[in-house]
Structure 1
Amino acid sequence: MTLSIQGKTAIITGAANGIGLAIARHFVDRGARVMFADRDEARLADECGEIPDEAGHVRYFAGDLREKLTVANLLSATLDAFDRIDVLVNASRQILPTDPLDPSDGSVQTLLDQNMFTALRLSQAVANRMIQQAETAGDEDGPVGSIVNISSIAARRTHPDLMGYSISCAALDQATRSLAVALAPHRIRVNGVAFGSVMSASLKESLNDTDGLRQEIRQCTPLGRIASAREVTHAVQFLASDGAGFVTGQVLTVDGGRTLLDNVTVAAH
């Protein structure tokens, strides 16, 4: 079994910061060719400019992937740079509070658009390209591609203040399972990674603003700590690699055991 992703071409969204950036950097370090995608062009340029790239394995694309034309342009840019697409990691996500009793609160729709529909549309577009690549190459046996969706344990927890986020993550998990079945005949695998508390930029901000939050998270996590972004990146690498060739439709939980407990008082980040 090989966990290598060397030589694979990957699109990674949400790659200007946080977990998406950590995944993109990890893939580059492991020899993949990576298209960093995000809305924040200035941040993308800064981050990609700091990565040694003598082999020409790093490119970036800035745009709002909620727009269908932007999705098409991202695919075109990736093919222009690398000629093919082997892996898609949908790591772009947004967290907003929700007022469950306010009919005018639009956070649920906003988060569904950002966290689920964007990933779904991009997955559909990339899957069609992967199928075309396999047909052109006459490949009838080998793996065709892998899609990994970044989700959260919020999909399975009850946090009324984060209702929109929880709903969008649950929808993304179901889209992962449905796409896995639909794309299995085409030898495209679709999986997800649902994480608990990971030391991201948003969590760091919350820890600074909320007294006692770090201790609360530790108390409701059996392993007693907050994960590093690297621990998520290794899970994504496994699912993207040929070593996970018989794994599809799964949402791998990386939460230090947190979902094994009944404590739901601390929001998932």
Structure 2
Amino acid sequence: MSFSIQGKTAIVTGAANGVGLAIARHFANKGANVMLADMDEPQLIKECGDTSDDSTLRYFAGDLRERLTMANLLSATLDAFDRVDILINGSRQLLTSDPLDLEDDTVEQLLTQNLTTSYRMTQLVARRMIKQAEGQEEGQVGAIVNLSSIAARRTHPELLGYSVSCAALDQMTRSMAVALAPRRIRVNAVAFGSVMSSSLKDTLREHKSYRADIEEHTPLGRIAAPRELADAVQFLSCEGAGFITGQIMTVDGGRTLLDPVAAPAH
């Protein structure tokens, strides 16, 4: 059973910072060709450094809410590496909202950013995976991993839009897994709890009491490091997980085992 991703080509969206960046770096360190995609071009340039023609690390900047941008991302990946084997849908956003504010369009925003973008990218990349596997009679054709959250299973009115978009993403994961299974493309998701991303670091600087609150409501008593998410994503991407599809892998230090409604989800 192989857990290697060496020589595979992966697209990682939402890769300019935080968990997406950690996954992209991890994949590159494990020998994969990686295309980092994000709207934040200055940050991508900063993180990628030299991306010469022989580099296994490239970047693409653009708004993936636009279909043309998605198509251009795939074209750039094929130009650089000739194929795509793995898609990590990590382009996601967290916003608070007021459920009673008629002018608040947070739900629509987050459904577009956290659900529709991943759905369209999955469609586009899956079609390419199928095409490049013509004549391949066995083995994994491709792997797709969506980044979700334990917020999908928790009830926090101020995070209504985020929770709804994550729950929808989980169901999309299951549906696409069944749809793509005959093509030997696996689709899974990683639902995580508190991870020491750049956004959480900013939050903890502003609200110092949050750290103790998170640790108190997490049985393992700490906040996850981004590399721990990257390890889980690598596992679901590799051929060693070849009989796993349609699953939502929870990586939260046991937090959802307690699931107190009053505890904020960060």
The bucket for the TM-score relative to the shorter chain is: over 0.9
Aligned to 1:79: 78
Indicate whether 1:242 and 2:239 are aligned: yes
Indicate whether 1:39 and 2:31 are aligned: no
Aligned to 1:179: 176
Tell me if structure 2 keeps the 8 A contact 1:10–1:34: yes
Tell me if structure 2 keeps the 8 A contact 1:148–1:239: yes
Separation in structure 2 between the aligned mates of residue 128 and residue 75 of structure 1, nearest angstrom: 11
What code does the residue aligned with 2:155 have?
T
Where 2:64 maps in the other structure, the secondary structure is coil
Deviation, structure 1 residue 55: 4.7
Separation in structure 2 between the aligned mates of residue 39 and residue 54 of structure 1, nearest angstrom: 22
Indicate whether 1:222 and 2:232 are aligned: no
> Which stretches of structure 1, 4 residues or longer, exceed 4 Å deviation after superposition?
none
Deviation, structure 1 residue 92: 1.0
Separation in structure 1 between the aligned mates of residue 94 and residue 31 of structure 2, nearest angstrom: 31
What code does the residue aligned with 2:81 have?
F
Aligned to 1:14: 14
Separation in structure 1 between the aligned mates of residue 260 and residue 198 of structure 2, nearest angstrom: 24
Output one character per residue of 1:156-203: Cα deviation in whole Å (capped at 9) or x when no partner.
Answer: 001111100000000100000000000000000000000000001111
Q: TM-score scaled by structure 1?
A: 0.97
Gaps of 5+ in 1: none
Output one character per residue of 1:227-254: Cα deviation in whole Å (capped at 9) or x when no partner.
Answer: 0001000000000000100000001000
What code does the residue aligned with 2:30 have?
R
Aligned to 1:212: 209
Aligned to 2:64: 65
Aligned to 1:133: 132
Tell me if structure 2 keeps the 8 A contact 1:66–1:118: yes
Separation in structure 2 between the aligned mates of residue 147 and residue 181 of structure 1, nearest angstrom: 13
Tell me if structure 1 keeps the 8 A contact 2:154–2:259: no
- Identity of matched residues, %: 67
Q: TM-score scaled by structure 2?
A: 0.98
Q: How many residues align?
A: 266
Deviation, structure 1 residue 104: 1.3
Indicate whether 1:157 and 2:129 are aligned: no
Indicate whether 1:123 and 2:115 are aligned: no
Where 1:235 maps in the other structure, the secondary structure is helix
Where 1:89 maps in the other structure, the secondary structure is strand
Deviation, structure 1 residue 140: 1.3
Deviation, structure 1 residue 264: 2.5
In angstroms, what is the RMSD of aligned CA positions? 1.2
Separation in structure 2 between the aligned mates of residue 183 and residue 204 of structure 1, nearest angstrom: 37
Separation in structure 2 between the aligned mates of residue 55 and residue 63 of structure 1, nearest angstrom: 23
Where 1:102 maps in the other structure, the secondary structure is coil
What code does the residue aligned with 1:41 have?
E
Separation in structure 1 between the aligned mates of residue 210 and residue 8 of structure 2, nearest angstrom: 39
Tell me if structure 2 keeps the 8 A contact 1:96–1:164: yes
